[in-house]
């Protein structure tokens, strides 16, 4: 039995667009540094909250809670409190904060139904976290009708368009935001769109985003470094990637997204003890509530156990339980669906009726998400179920986005080989190697099947 943790599919197979950028490019033709270039990415920022972002947001929450004791029906204070809960959820990954943000935002709208964009934005962000992209888009569009220059609402449109594979809309909205406000957030979004389109300009745009950061932009400063680090990781440039992950952790210590990416890199390098300790940092960061990273950490630790020929079934079962809970629960219960992740786990494990269930799950997911990663998982599910022609159609949909992914090209190569198209298989294999020369060796070392 073989397993593959969800973030291997995320970072080895295709870049993520989570979830969250070009006026000009620093140098589209510039030679990328092999060793970390401190001047390009490192800034001595005096950022408030770098030592404990969680504590800073908690103080903000306490402030608005105190204000609400004096005026419990203040729509503005409720909106601000809901946003603070959302920010804490993003900082910690704890699902309970997202749910509290949603409840508080709804209370705010009940008391202040008009001119309350802040509370509506919080609801859109929670909907997006649930993968309810249609609801998130509708809320954002309503806000933009009243306030066309609301960058936060347009940002939601960009990230939803990325998740659903509508790259033209994502590009249009990102360009509008950059033209209105060429800052860290807008340039990061534009870089993500360019990355999804396979444009080499994305690296330059990520660099522009870093140059545009200002004092106080703690979370976005850490995020852009993780995203650029992941880009280098996907090219096999592990030194540059690690440097950027460490930079993110210097800005925002114990940042879960940076730690997950770092653990992935350490696993690829065979640094199993270091990777295990990195995962433990995420676990120790949040012990009181369900964390949106929990299933990823469990699968990562299971992978480490497997690679060291140690028992791992219990970790994998815990990850599956968490994924099923979030996938099966109804919207009213606050579910944060992870059908794609559950499908990947089942495809990796391949026990009993796992393959058939995985295909059913990803076929449901493809109805709402049309990004390259979802099509890649769909192609894999078709392959495992011996539906090779349909796998070819799915992987072509992933390739049509223009994304440059070693994993997707490798999948396409394997599919063409199964169909007997040897020359086309070689072309795709060469494309994969050109992007990340060590990609196939990494798959073999990590015992991962696409």
Answer whether residue 178 is part of any domain: yes
Identify the band that residue 349 occupies on the pLDDT scale cut at 50, 70 and 90. Answer: confident
**Same domain membership, residue 97 and residue 233:** yes
Q: The domain spanning residue 34 has which CATH number?
A: 1.25.40.10
Measured CA to CA, the distance from residue 221 to residue 184 in angstroms comes to 8
Answer whether residue 277 is part of any domain: yes
DSSP 107-122: HHHHH--SS-HHHHHH
Measured CA to CA, the distance from residue 291 to residue 427 in angstroms comes to 41
**Same domain membership, residue 256 and residue 241:** yes
**Same domain membership, residue 372 and residue 268:** no
Show which of 304, 337, 370 is a domain's final residue. 337
Show which of 320, 337, 354 is a domain's final residue. 337
Q: Is 31 exposed, middle or buried, given 0-12, 13-18 or 19+ CB atoms closer than 10 A?
A: exposed
What pLDDT digit, counting tens, does each position of 353-365 carry? 899 999 999 999 9
What pLDDT digit, counting tens, does each position of 373-415 carry? 999 999 999 999 999 999 999 999 999 989 999 999 999 999 9
Collapsed DSSP state (helix, strand, coil) of residue 94: strand
Q: Which tops the pLDDT comparison, 18 or 349?
A: 349
Residue 286: predicted pLDDT: 57
**Same domain membership, residue 427 and residue 283:** no
| Residue 33 DSSP code | P
**Same domain membership, residue 236 and residue 168:** yes
Count structural domains, the chain: 2
Q: Which tops the pLDDT comparison, 445 or 62?
A: 62
User: What domain range is 350 assigned to?
Assistant: 338-450
Answer whether residue 116 is part of any domain: yes
Return the exposure string of 109-134: e unless at least 16 CB atoms fall within 10 Å of the residue's CB, then b. bebbeeebbbbbbbbbbbbbbbbbbe
**Same domain membership, residue 194 and residue 331:** yes
Distances, alpha carbon 284 to alpha carbons 5, 75, 181, 311, 315, in Å: 20, 35, 38, 22, 17
CB 304 within 8 A of CB 266: no
Residue 178: predicted pLDDT: 97
What pLDDT digit, counting tens, does each position of 253-305 carry? 888 899 999 999 999 999 999 999 999 998 876 555 566 788 999 999 999 99
Residue 213: predicted pLDDT: 94
User: Closest Cα partner for 220 from 185, 189, 253?
Assistant: 185
* pTM for the model: 0.83
**Same domain membership, residue 282 and residue 224:** yes
**Same domain membership, residue 135 and residue 65:** yes
Residue 335: predicted pLDDT: 58
| Residue 332 DSSP code | G
**Same domain membership, residue 428 and residue 445:** yes
What pLDDT digit, counting tens, does each position of 204-256 carry? 999 999 999 998 888 899 999 999 999 999 999 999 999 999 999 999 888 88
Answer whether residue 427 is part of any domain: yes
Chain-centre distance of CA 171, in angstroms? 18
Answer whether residue 267 is part of any domain: yes
């Amino acid at each position: 039995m073989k397993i593959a943790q969800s973030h291997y599919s995320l970072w080895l197979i295709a870049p993520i667009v989570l979830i969250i950028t070009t006026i000009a490019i620093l140098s589209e033709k510039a030679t990328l540094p092999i060793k970390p270039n401190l001047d390009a990415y490192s800034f001595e920022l005096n950022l408030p909250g770098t030592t404990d972002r969680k504590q800073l947001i908690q103080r903000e929450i306490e402030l608005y809670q105190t204000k609400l004791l004096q005026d419990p029906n203040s729509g503005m204070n409720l909106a601000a409190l809901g946003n603070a809960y959302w920010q804490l959820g993003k900082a910690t990954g704890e699902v309970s904060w997202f749910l509290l943000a949603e409840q508080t935002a709804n209370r705010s709208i009940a008391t202040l139904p008009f001119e309350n964009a802040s509370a509506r934005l919080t609801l859109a962000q929670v909907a997006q976290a649930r993968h309810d992209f249609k609801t998130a888009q509708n809320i954002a569009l309503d806000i933009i009708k009243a306030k066309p220059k609301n960058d936060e609402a347009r940002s939601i449109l960009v990230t939803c368009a990325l998740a659903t594979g509508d790259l033209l809309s994502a590009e249009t909205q990102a360009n509008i935001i950059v033209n209105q406000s060429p800052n860290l957030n807008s340039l990061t979004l534009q870089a993500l769109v360019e990355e999804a389109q396979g444009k080499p300009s994305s690296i330059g745009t990520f660099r522009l985003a870093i140059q545009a950061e200002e004092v106080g932009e703690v979370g976005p400063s850490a995020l852009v470094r993780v995203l650029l680090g992941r880009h280098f990781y996907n090219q096999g440039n592990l030194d540059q990637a690690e440097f950027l992950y460490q930079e993110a952790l210097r800005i925002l210590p114990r940042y879960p997204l940076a730690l997950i990416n770092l653990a992935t890199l350490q696993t690829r390098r065979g640094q199993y003890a270091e990777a295990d300790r990195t995962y433990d940092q995420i676990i120790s960061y949040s012990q009181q509530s369900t964390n949106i990273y929990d299933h990823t950490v469990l699968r990562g630790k299971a992978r480490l156990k497997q690679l060291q020929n140690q028992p791992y079934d219990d970790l994998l079962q815990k990850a599956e339980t968490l994924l099923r809970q979030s996938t099966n629960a109804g919207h009213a219960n606050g579910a944060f669906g992870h059908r794609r992740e559950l499908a990947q786990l089942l495809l990796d494990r391949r026990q009993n009726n796992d393959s058939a269930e995985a295909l059913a799950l990803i076929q449901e997911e493809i109805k709402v998400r049309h990004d390259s990663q979802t099509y890649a998982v769909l192609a894999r599910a078709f392959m495992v179920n011996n539906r090779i022609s349909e796998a070819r159609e799915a992987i072509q949909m992933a390739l049509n986005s223009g994304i440059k992914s070693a994993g997707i090209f490798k999948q396409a190569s394997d599919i063409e080989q199964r169909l007997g198209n040897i020359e086309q298989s070689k072309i795709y294999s060469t494309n994969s190697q050109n992007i990340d020369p060590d990609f196939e060796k990494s798959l073999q070392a990590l015992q991962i099947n696409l």
